[in-house]
Chains A and B, each alone.
Chain A
């Protein structure tokens, strides 16, 4: 969900339900779960107040989603990311695999359609679109971001959300303070998304902001687990801080250049296949080889 939430904000059922394209029932369950986990508290005037950073609350919900039956769409995405599902799905498949009602399966498909991760195919089928986390979509995703993210920084009216920037900075510095080879790639991915969403949100151009936020939303979905080396993760986090430094000093050109460099370094792929005496292949060979 891409609501501009902060710690201490009120969590309004209807707004959340609209944002997630679901009914209020799963939102209510999610709020109760967050309360149980200490991530939200009941407000005196009714409803709930967020007691943690939104990314942390999202992570807790993800962990509990399947068991609690809250997030069938999330379970489908996770299974798609793990290549447990075919490229095309239908309601009958979902009912069988997840033991859910027809209406629940249909709601999940509608939510996935709203997120832009499936498209209606012929008959009763739905097909998954290529995701930024898919190996075949990764380079294209970086190329897309190389065009837009520096422009977001250079856009008229770019205004860094300082409260959120402070949180991103402290989250990044906390990770960097950990000893070498100690932090998990998932922690890095969370910090990475928080930083890039901050840049998108801060853009002065609403269309740039919305298209980048939508893309980062897709990046946030399960499926991409290509693994990064500790050194490169630290280097990337340092690059985030450097970009923030430039922005805070009003050196927007330098920040945009640094963003380009950062994305170019991050899009590097290790060889797909190598063998002694042969030129290593960097791009994936198209299709399966049987």
Chain B
């Protein structure tokens, strides 16, 4: 391949659909601009990017789980953690956040050797890291790298922002301080372990609570202006680029006829992890069947577990989400940043029932900026859910403001902007 004609851009998204599909949107644009995007993949994600036409390189880990072991891992993960999804963010720190960070650090350690080998083989012009942790092999490759923050903006801390994963308003100074202290205390041993790993690999230590430095080359933040925070420390516009949206191209979606086919269209998705909670979805059905609306629900891999689905509800295990959101009147989701930003991109109000991670932060931000409502998983009632749906569908002022904002977001063409910022990092003299 002629490197000058087609710079190789190696994407390394974390093993979650949000980051993966966010990167697909940017990679599609890079391909259209003549670059050669490729994907470094974690186990199990092989084929996801090939289905969009991209080359993949599986990054081996030190001890790969067999299919049976992975199955057992998830059975145990879900039986252990599903109850934690109904907890307050503070209570999740020790029950959920700590073990997940532990797993993230373990992943970073176990892929290091394989990632180093893969980067040597691919010899990319730029590495694009959409993750919450640094993999030392990337820094040591001496290749320009771009950090993508496709989580909520709170991932990049600032004195004016509430703490990451807290779901708190910035105005609650005492609450924020208490959460921050507890977060640092809880993660202290894990952070120390990670810093030791960095040190062993020749990287600088990071301040407490931080697992990923900002890139000296470019940082892309998926934080549309309508929900963006004011920061104490203004970010350097040369090194940090805010994206209004990062929506991938998908095929069209024909809304199916349902036996009860009247009323507004509501799309419901809680991500692949949320979709494992079958009983939660069944409790939603009890409300949905009483409403004169149509519901499209992403139930993921558990689709065969359902029966007696209401006549105004249609289930699928996968949707071309951008095409669906574009057609719907309301999006009920878990506050995943991709889902939240897609709702904003298409001018659709969000009803957020977060269950973990930055979903809490986005739910709080949706309320603060009047682009949606929040319900807590631990105490919502059927009446509250019905009222929230009706309120959002009947809020003409919000609808009009979201429509105007959507127009602005789409005009900004942020996917092209992201792709260009990545290409700007290519060193034309690199061999």
Contacts and interface: CB of A to CB of B under 8 A. Distances in A.
Interface of A: 79, 82-87, 134-136, 180-186, 225-233, 235, 268-285, 287-290
B78 A230 contact: no
A289 B280 CA distance: 10
* Residue from A181, A185, A279 with most neighbouring chain B CB atoms (10 Å): A279
B13 to A, nearest CB: 10
B229 interface: no
B71 A285 contact: yes
Given A82-B309, A229-B251, A284-B301, A276 B16 contact: yes
B272 A274 contact: yes
Contacts of B15: 274-280
A280 B42 contact: yes
Nearest to B65: A279
B104 to A, nearest CB: 4
What are the nearest 9 A-B pairs in CB distance? Answer: A280-B44, A277-B103, A272-B301, A288-B305, A277-B104, A227-B318, A231-B53, A288-B278, A229-B51
A84 B14 CA distance: 36
Interface in B164-222: none
Contacts, number: 178
Given A229-B250, A274-B16, A276-B100, 11 more contacts: A82-B309, A83-B307, A180-B249, A181-B252, A270-B51, A271-B44, A276-B131, A277-B15, A280-B43, A280-B44, A281-B73
A289 B278 contact: yes
A135 B276 contact: no
Nearest to B106: A277
10 contacts: A227-B317, A232-B51, A274-B17, A276-B15, A276-B16, A277-B103, A278-B77, A279-B15, A280-B42, A290-B278
Given A186-B254, A270-B51, A285-B301, A278 B318 contact: no
B48 A271 contact: yes
A180 B318 CA distance: 20
* Most chain A beta-carbon contacts within 10 A, residue among B15, B73, B106, B357: B15
Q: How many B residues are at the interface, by size bracket?
A: 35 or more
Interface string B272-313: 110111110000000000000000000011111111111100
Contacts of B51: 228-229, 231-232, 268, 270
Nearest to B318: A227
Nearest to A269: B47
B47 A268 contact: yes
B59 interface: no
Nearest to B249: A181
B45 interface: yes
Contacts of B273: 273-275
Contacts of A280: 15, 42-45
A134 B306 CA distance: 12
Given A135-B303, A181-B249, A227-B319, A277 B107 contact: yes
A85 B306 CA distance: 9
A281 B259 CA distance: 34
B302 A270 contact: no
B335 to A, nearest CB: 15
B70 interface: yes
Contact of A231 (B52, B131, B316): B52
B104 A276 contact: yes
A134 to B, nearest CB: 6
Contacts of B67: 282-283
B126 interface: no
Contacts of B377: none
Interface in B49-76: 50-53, 65, 67, 70-71, 73-75
B278 A181 contact: no
Contacts of B16: 274-276
A40 to B, nearest CB: 24
A171 B71 CA distance: 41
B253 to A, nearest CB: 8
A270 B317 CA distance: 10
B74 A285 contact: yes
A263 B147 CA distance: 37
Nearest to B274: A273
A277 B100 contact: yes
Interface in B91-112: 100-107
A184 B65 CA distance: 37
Contact of B317 (A135, A180, A285): A135
A36 B301 CA distance: 41
A289 B43 contact: no
Contacts of A289: 75, 78-79, 82, 276-278, 302
Contacts of A134: 304
Contacts of A87: 307
B318 A226 contact: yes
B277 A226 contact: no
A44 to B, nearest CB: 37
Residue with the greatest number of chain B CB neighbours at <10 A, chosen from A84, A136, A268: A84
A285 B309 contact: no
B137 interface: no
B305 A84 contact: no
Nearest to B309: A83
B47 A270 contact: yes
Contacts of B277: 289-290
A183 to B, nearest CB: 7
B276 A185 contact: no
Nearest to B322: A181
A276 B14 contact: yes
B118 interface: no
B157 interface: no
A288 B19 CA distance: 26
Nearest to A136: B304
Contacts of B315: 82-83
A227 B256 CA distance: 13
Contacts of B78: 285, 289
A35 B82 CA distance: 55
Contacts of A279: 15, 42-44, 65, 70, 73
Nearest to B314: A82
Contacts of B47: 268-270
B132 interface: yes
A271 B254 contact: no
Contacts of A288: 278-279, 302, 305
A84 B259 contact: yes
Contacts of A185: 251
B320 interface: yes
Nearest to B19: A276
